[in-house]
Amino acid sequence: MLFPSTPLSTMQRRTRPAFTLLELVVVLAVLGVMAAAVGSLRPAPQLAQRLSVKQETQFMLCALRAARATAIATAQPVELNLSQGKESTTLSTRVAAYPSDRQPPAHSFPSFLKAAWSTSRVAFQPDGSSDQSLVIVLAGPDGPSYVLEVLSASGQVTMVIKE
């Protein structure tokens, strides 16, 4: 007889492998735990602001050092001006050796950044010195404060972190 007339038994019909309900629940639970772990690794807004304050401080430090180097390289004074607007603090640079269309663009700092300075203007001379000392304090809503200092005699720019 080629074709049996009796139906296949239950054991014979189930020949393909399948997942049980328990295995599916375990896999979903593991995926849920992994998704919760990845979601908790998202940086907090305070951390992002602290990193932004550090980045803006590094920018200010580089801008001051670049202004001094430009004054030495061009043998012309370079002036930096800090101004406090309604929304943010702005740093502008004027290089005496450059025409007005080649002046560096002004930089505005984020509104959450608290900034204070001893004088709103400093000029670096061709010998590397500055016309006056300058102290700038930058801080975010929480976290450390960064103090940048320009020494008038040498024009040296330093940074100190205050916890």
pLDDT digits (tens, 9 = 90+) for 52-76: 888 888 988 888 898 899 999 989 9
The pLDDT confidence band at residue 134, using thresholds 50, 70 and 90, is: confident
Residue where the block lists tokens 């930058």: 138
In a domain, 32, yes or no: no
Does the structure show a pLDDT above 60 at 8?
no
pLDDT of residue 13: 58
In a domain, 10, yes or no: no
Does the structure show a pLDDT above 80 at 26?
yes
DSSP string for 103-115: SPPPEEPPTT-EE
CB atoms within 10 A of CB 105: 7
Domain at 142, CATH number: 3.55.40.10
Mean pLDDT of the chain: 83
In a domain, 110, yes or no: yes
- The domain total for the chain is 1
- Per-residue pLDDT, averaged over 11-26, amounts to 75
In a domain, 5, yes or no: no
In a domain, 15, yes or no: no
In a domain, 114, yes or no: yes
Does the structure show a pLDDT above 90 at 20?
no
Q: Note down the domain range covering 81.
A: 45-162
In a domain, 20, yes or no: no
Residues 89 and 78: their CA atoms lie apart, in Å, by 20
Residues 77 and 124: their CA atoms lie apart, in Å, by 6
Residues 82 and 107: their CA atoms lie apart, in Å, by 10
- In the chain, which residue ranges form alpha helices assigned H by DSSP? 10-13, 21-40, 45-74
In a domain, 59, yes or no: yes
